[in-house]
Amino acid sequence: MSNRAVEILEEANAILTGHFKLTSGLHSNRYIQCAQVFQYPDKVEELCKLLAQKLQGKGITTVIGPAVGGIIFSYALSSALNCKNIYAERVEEKMSFRRNFSVEPGEKVVVVEDVVTTGGSAKEVAVLAQSLGAEVVAICSLVDRSGGKVDFGVPFVPLIQMNVVTYQPDDCPLCKEGKPLIQPGSRHLKL
């Protein structure tokens, strides 16, 4: 784990405690709100430079992030890698490229997601890029909160790995204690 990366997230108050409903539908007592760190360009730049070091020599030509949460992250990582940046958007519940964004057959891409729990959004974007012939060199995240359990079928390169407990909604002890449930993620937003 990158101690400096954790320090940056803590400095930005991006690591929250409480009772949260994650994008995956699971519940947790901790939430990583990368939007907090994305307010500070210098902090995002430093995080992405640390991550870019892990990606050297892979010939990456494009970074792709899912909207909304991955837009700033993908832009900052593409800047650190000095390559093209695009993002995918959810259209009728399916990730798609809009705004004339595209990838070419054989193009070497990295897909990013700020925080990975189940990896659903990143998987969708990777499948989209692969369906157009791109080579997904890696999937990256600032934080892997899956405990290393997510298998994307391509290399997964997180900057930080955090073991954070998650619960099925029916078995959530926080629900049983009556703690208010907060849903801070962006997937429930319609674009």
Q: What is the pLDDT of residues 123-170, one digit of tens each?
A: 999 999 999 999 999 999 999 988 888 999 999 999 999 888 889 999
> pLDDT tens digits for 18-38?
999 987 788 999 888 899 999
Residue 103 scores a pLDDT above 90: yes
Range among 3-7, 78-82, 181-185 rated most confident: 78-82
How is 17-58 classified by DSSP, letter by letter? Answer: EEEEE-TTS-EEEEEE-HHHHTT-HHHHHHHHHHHHHHTTTS
Report CA 111 to chain centroid distance, whole Å: 9
